[in-house]
Structure 1
Amino acid sequence: MPISKRQLAASLLSTLRIEARDMMVGFLQLETTKFLDAPFANTRAAVVRQVWGTRGMEFRALDIEVVGLCELLHTLQALPSETPLVQEILRSGPHTLYVFHYGDGCQIVGAVLHGKANIPLPVSIVPRRGRKRSRIHSASASSQLDLFAAVSA
């Protein structure tokens, strides 16, 4: 049974080691984000490690923005090479999201979101439930106002 965007988003949100998970989930929630046929959907940890290690070098050379790659490679280093993984590929416009899981769609190994050369990542995409940054920003703004009030008194 194929995984849904909703299930994939919920699984990504629960994977705390992926720092950019809010951005990735926001990308998943776009109407324009669609699943692509993954030519090698069933793969192994060693293959993913090799492919994404090489892509990391290519991304640096071509000035392609990417998030999640370091976490994915770090997680893959801890897995036995023969560990079976499933690859999901989603695209919207110039951006592509790759998500790797153990086959159940629930336990996410890692995810990588990237664009094309000289195209920034969609940083403004944050899911409704995951707007932690705006809360942090408003808390720091109120602290700044308190500081000004103390200085002018």
Structure 2
Amino acid sequence: MPISPRQLTASLLAADHIAERHVIAAFLAQTATQPAPNPFPETSVGAVSQVWRQRAAEFQSFAVEAAGLTCLLATLSGLSLDERLMQEILRAGPHTVNVFHRGDGCRIVGAVLYGKPGVALPVLPIPRTKRLGPAPRSGALGMPGQLDLFA
């Protein structure tokens, strides 16, 4: 049974080992992102590793931008080749995301967001938790040159 995009988004945000998880999660959270046909929902670390190493070479050759690929390959290299994984595939427009988890949708092994050759990754709104610093307070705006110790 496929995992809902909402659950995948939450699980992906908790996956600290994926450097670009916020970009991928923002893509998953878009209403246009929908589950896609998935010919191999159940797979193995060995199969995923082989497929994505090949895709990494193809992506480089064909100028395909990807987020999460390096982290996926690094994580897979530390796992047993026969370990079972589940794959979720979601699409919106020219972009696709493949998410790999251990079968419960909660323990994300890796995820890759990519587009068609020559198409940039989508520019998505930054989640509120990732914005730099708190919003300025009205009292902190008035005096230029004054140091605000609470900012």
Alignment TM-score > 0.5, same fold: yes
Distance 1:53 1:137, change over 3 A: farther
Deviations 1:44-68 (A, max 9, x none): 0000000000000000000010010
Deviations along 1:73-112, whole A, 9 cap, x unmatched?
Answer: 0110111000000000000001100000010100000000
| Letter matched to residue 112 of structure 2 | V
Measured against aligned partners, the alpha-carbon deviations of 1:123-151 in whole angstroms (never above 9, x if no partner) come to 334334x4x1x325979xxxxxx9x838x
Q: Secondary structure at the match of 2:76?
A: helix
**What pairs up with 1:78-117 in 2 under 5 angstroms?**
78-117=78-117
1:3 touches 1:105 (CA, 8 Å); kept in 2?
yes
* Amino acid aligned to 1:135: L
5+ unaligned residues in a row in structure 2: which ranges? 137-142, 147-151
Cα shift readout 1:14-45 (whole Å, capped 9, x = no counterpart): 00111111111111111110001210110000
Aligned length: 140
| 2:145 alignment partner, SS class | helix
Between the aligned residues of both structures, percent identity stands at: 46
CA contact (8 A) 2:72 2:109 kept: yes
What is residue 132 of structure 2 aligned with on the other side?
A: 135
Tell me if the contact between 2:9 and 2:25 (Cα under 8 Å) persists in the aligned partners: yes
The alignment yields a C-alpha RMSD, in angstroms, of 2.0
Higher helix share: 1
The 3 A distance-change label for structure 1 pair 137 and 53 is farther
Task: State whether structure 2 residue 38 is matched by structure 1 residue 10.
Answer: no
Structural mapping, 1:7-46, within 5 Å: 7-46=7-46
Contact 1:35 1:88 in 2 (8 A): yes
1:149 counterpart (136, 140, 145): 145
Inter-partner Cα distance in structure 2 for 1:126 and 1:92: 18
Q: Which amino acid is 1:25 matched to?
A: A
Q: Which runs of 5+ in 1 are unaligned?
A: 140-145
What is the CA–CA distance in structure 1 between the aligned matches of 2:125 and 2:83, rounded to whole Å? 32
Q: Which residue is 2:53 aligned to?
A: 53
Q: Which residue of 1 aligns with 2:139?
A: none
Determine the C-alpha separation between the residues in 1 that align with 2:123 and 2:135.
18
Give distance in 2, aligned partners of 1:126 and 1:28.
Answer: 13
Check conservation: 1:68, 1:113, Cα contact below 8 A: yes
Task: Judge conservation of contact 1:5–1:28 (CA < 8 Å) in 2.
Answer: yes
1:62 maps to 2:62: yes
